[in-house]
Amino acid sequence: MDQMKIGKFIASMRKEQGLSQKQLAERIGVTDKTISKWETGNRLPDASILLKLSQELHIDVNELLAGEAFSSKEFSAEEYVKKSESNLVGLVGKLNEDEEKRKGRGIGTVTGIVCIALAFAGVLVSSLPMGGIVDILDLPTLCYLSGLKFLIITFSGRFHDYLNAWRLLAPGTELSGKEMKSSMEAVKYAGALSLSVGGVIASIGLFSLLNYLNAGYLSDFTRIGPAFAQVVLTLFYTAIAKTVYVIVLYQVKRRMENERRQEWDNY
């Protein structure tokens, strides 16, 4: 289902009826921003509003879903029914896909916020005279890296595809070729993002270290140590993350190749 085509068709028919986005929005009970999202292809109208929208644009629902007006001579009754079924199937598939992406955004946002919250908690714990595993592994840095990465992946709209890539590592998981390709792109994006976020956090630690050295705290390991650890461990965690993504990407590619090989064998 071509969202851009549908969006342009909605805009064209709206203008043909002499309506502004705000006027159309008021008639069907949505906001003008929603109309704008439809017309730019960023979103499809909800199924509950298709009939009302079609009536206001003086077209039928089938034309709306196809993104074009039909001539009465263009299709026979049987062909028209088949096209209607095809459009409805496409709409249901698209709505299901959008719902999965919305769930993915929710999971990604919560995961990112939790990681950053854990980072703050880790900073508080490490400030206490306890020592131990928190100080050695610098868990706040790890949580910052993970939290920022998950939030950015989520806001980029790739978190659902990112999760699919991990799902593909489990035997028996079945995804379409399009979903596998999107998963590959999401993993590549996550790998590049790990390098970027890691570079930023390591740079912050390096600046802190240089400031302490410049201020004459060379022998004060309570100041120098954490800053140095932030630089080294950030680079270490970034290298691990990048290595993991390379492995995941390889597995997804191999899965795609196996699927294609099976299709050729069946053909």
CA pair distance 224, 35, nearest whole angstrom: 56
Average pLDDT along the chain: 77
Q: What b/e readout covers 192-227, taking b as 16+ CB neighbours within 10 angstroms?
A: ebbeebbeebbebbeebbeebeeeeeeeeeebbebb
| pLDDT mean over 136-158 | 80
Q: What b/e readout covers 152-164, taking b as 16+ CB neighbours within 10 angstroms?
A: bbbebebbbbbbb
pTM of the model: 0.55
Burial of 267 (0-12, 13-18, 19+ CB in 10 A): exposed
CA pair distance 32, 170, nearest whole angstrom: 44
Provide DSSP, 73-135: TTS-HHHHHHHHHHHHHHHHHHHHHHHHHHHHHHHHHHHHHHHHHHHHHHHHHHTSTT-SHHH
The pLDDT value recorded for residue 63 is 78
At 246, the pLDDT band (50, 70, 90 cuts) reads very high
Residue 71 above 60 pLDDT?
Answer: no
CATH topology of domain 3-66: 434 Repressor (Amino-terminal Domain) (1.10.260)
Each domain of the chain, given as residue ranges in start order, spans 3-66, 100-266
The pLDDT value recorded for residue 99 is 62
Residue 250 above 80 pLDDT?
Answer: yes
| pLDDT mean over 243-250 | 91
